[in-house]
Amino acid sequence: MSELAFAAPDRLAPPMRLTLQESVQRKRRNGDANKLDLADRPAHDWYRFVLSYPPHLVRDYLHRFDASADTVCLDPFCGTATTLVECKKLGVASIGVEAHPMSHFAAQVKTDWMLDPQGLLAHAQNIADKALRGLKRDGISDEGVNPRPRVSELRRLPKEREELLLARSISILPLHKTLVLLEHLRDSSASQFHRHELLALAQALVSVIGNLHFGPEVGVGPAKKDAAVIAPWLANVKRMACDLGSLQGKWHTPATVIRADARNIAGILKPDSVDIVITSPPYPNEKDYTRTTRLESVLLGLLHTMEELRAVKHGLMRSNTRNVYKGDDDDSWIAGHTEIQKIAENIERRRIELKKTSGFEKTYAKVTKLYFGGMARHLEELKSILRPGARLAYVVGDQASYLRVMIRTGKLLADIAKSRGYEVLGIDLFRTRLSTATGDQLREEAVLLRWPG
């Protein structure tokens, strides 16, 4: 069991002036509520998962839950550390639990503000110069104006790693440049700046270098014949250095990131150690989070083989049909929940009516039960970690991905929490969004809970 002890900072930064209600009114219109404000970009913008929730929502609930310098906040599905970064900015000690290796890595880096900004800049510039000289020897420019190079002379990934990538997610020439840069980054892997430099490359890969597009599903757009690599990477490092200059006065606030499965965390954290939970677990839909982060996971060396990918999926919530495995039994946790059982039956009935017979479609009903069972299991595990009176906010959304059968995630999660001994304080509307499957407005909500202890 981890002996996590936090040295609390002297005081909590002043809370945001807007009340929760005022903030919701200001940002309610669909996507506006989920946008990253300009003032929030430091650290948050170093690498941000496409489905992340916004920092202002974390601020709102920290204020509403009376967070102080003595508070410990947990995010058990911490993703790329939106909650942890915001806690650190406000002087609140935090713990994040994340099972995905890319998200875990990003969360660790985004909460590490102890680097010397000028040292980071100088180190990255030195690597950039070496990489540019290497490209020049290959007869290649980083500006994206290269004549047709001889493909046989360009660097490629080993076949097993290449097969993990989404097809055509990065073109041959940008891949060559990326591998040249990675070679020089590996040569200085002992540097204190190494992890930040890698994260800057991850951000460049998904935003500039690769052929990906997000909407919010990951897709592959038109292939780029060429793309700059060194320049956008170095620009990201410079933004990091600029942010570090403004954040270093807050580096001392503890933020611990643990790689683990949120359904199995009772033995990881100290009993009675958490005052607040602010999180956004996966929703029951067909979003495969390992696909969304596949390009950077493979190129940064976090995934090498199909076996490693399967192991990662096995440790994630069963929220989509691509990570359902024989022997999964989380559905046993909600076997007596009538409404969830009825939703699963409706999904299966509709599948049969529509004559949908693919392996994934046959799993829709099963994964729905596995998802809510996994959340029940998580909430049960959490009970020993929470202090009496702990308050929790779970940001979740309605779904209609499975053959247009509506799943009111927030209401169902509140029901499950109540059955596990939690007090339901309410359900706040965060935003609405249009369902592409049904044309309905789907609610994205924060389920508010209290653990009486």
* 12 and 53 in a common domain: yes
SS3 392: strand
The single-letter DSSP state of residue 281 is: P
Provide the token pair at 443: 């609610």
Whether 56 maps to a domain, the answer reads: yes
| Amino acid 138: pLDDT | 85
* 379 and 276 in a common domain: no
* 16 and 35 in a common domain: yes
Of 444, 314, 427, 319, nearest in space to 373 by CA: 319
Of 257, 245, 283, nearest in space to 375 by CA: 283
* 202 and 88 in a common domain: no
Of 348, 346, 380, 345, nearest in space to 362 by CA: 348
Residue 286: pLDDT band (50, 70, 90) is confident
Predicted confidence (pLDDT) at residue 111 exceeds the cutoff of 70 = yes
* 146 and 97 in a common domain: no
Provide the token pair at 425: 């304080």
CA distances (Å), origin 75, targets 10, 248, 347, 378: 22, 23, 31, 12
Q: How many residues does the chain have?
A: 453
The answer for residues whose C-beta is within 8 angstroms of residue 56's C-beta and 6 or more apart is 16, 18, 23, 27, 37, 40
The tokens 């950039």 sit on which residue? 128
Whether 290 maps to a domain, the answer reads: no
- H or E, element range at 424: strand 423-434
Whether 313 maps to a domain, the answer reads: no
Of 195, 219, 299, nearest in space to 50 by CA: 219
CATH number at residue 34: 3.40.50.150
The answer to whether the beta carbons of residues 345 and 303 sit under 8 Å apart is no
Whether 5 maps to a domain, the answer reads: yes
* 167 and 243 in a common domain: yes
Measured from the Cβ of residue 190, the count of other Cβ atoms closer than 10 Å reads 6
The model's pLDDT over 405-414, given as tens digits with 9 standing for 90+, comes to 999 999 999 9
Total structural domains within the chain:
3
The answer to whether the beta carbons of residues 451 and 418 sit under 8 Å apart is no
* 123 and 244 in a common domain: yes
* 255 and 245 in a common domain: no
Distance CA 358, CA 333 (A): 27
SS3 396: strand
Mean pLDDT of the chain: 89
Predicted confidence (pLDDT) at residue 364 exceeds the cutoff of 90 = yes
Burial of residue 439, with CB atoms counted within 10 A of its CB: 0-12 exposed, 13-18 middle, 19 or more buried = exposed
The model's pLDDT over 63-105, given as tens digits with 9 standing for 90+, comes to 999 999 999 999 999 999 999 999 999 999 999 999 999 999 9
Q: Are strands 274-279 and 386-397 parallel, antiparallel or unpaired?
A: parallel
Last residue of a domain, one of 249, 271, 290: 249
* 166 and 104 in a common domain: no
Percent of all residues in the chain with a pLDDT value above 90, rounded to a whole number: 76
Per mean pLDDT, which range of 111-125, 281-295, 343-357, 370-384 is the poorest? 281-295
* 125 and 180 in a common domain: yes
Per mean pLDDT, which range of 205-214, 264-273, 388-397, 427-436 is the poorest? 427-436
The answer for residues whose C-beta is within 8 angstroms of residue 314's C-beta and 6 or more apart is 323, 325
More confident residue, 28 or 399: 399
CA distances (Å), origin 105, targets 46, 130, 382, 429: 12, 26, 23, 31
Give the predicted TM-score (pTM) of the model: 0.90
* 262 and 240 in a common domain: no
Provide the token pair at 204: 């460049």
DSSP string computed for 184-236: HHHHTTTSTTHHHHHHHHHHHIIIIIS-EEESSSEEE-SPPS----HHHHHHH
The residue range of the domain holding 153 is 117-249
| Amino acid 28: pLDDT | 42
Per mean pLDDT, which range of 36-50, 99-113, 166-180 is the poorest? 36-50
Last residue of a domain, one of 204, 226, 249: 249
Give long-range contacts, CB 8 A cutoff, 24+ apart: 142-150. 142/177, 142/228, 142/229, 142/230, 142/231, 143/228, 143/231, 144/226, 144/227, 144/228, 145/226, 146/173, 146/226, 149/173, 149/176
Whether 65 maps to a domain, the answer reads: yes
| Amino acid 146: pLDDT | 63
Last residue of a domain, one of 280, 300, 330: 280
Whether 155 maps to a domain, the answer reads: yes
The model's pLDDT over 142-173, given as tens digits with 9 standing for 90+, comes to 986 666 666 568 999 999 999 999 999 999 99
* 200 and 86 in a common domain: no
| Amino acid 215: pLDDT | 72
Whether 310 maps to a domain, the answer reads: no
| Amino acid 249: pLDDT | 86
Whether 293 maps to a domain, the answer reads: no
Distance CA 348, CA 361 (A): 9
The model's pLDDT over 305-338, given as tens digits with 9 standing for 90+, comes to 999 999 999 999 999 999 999 999 999 999 999 9
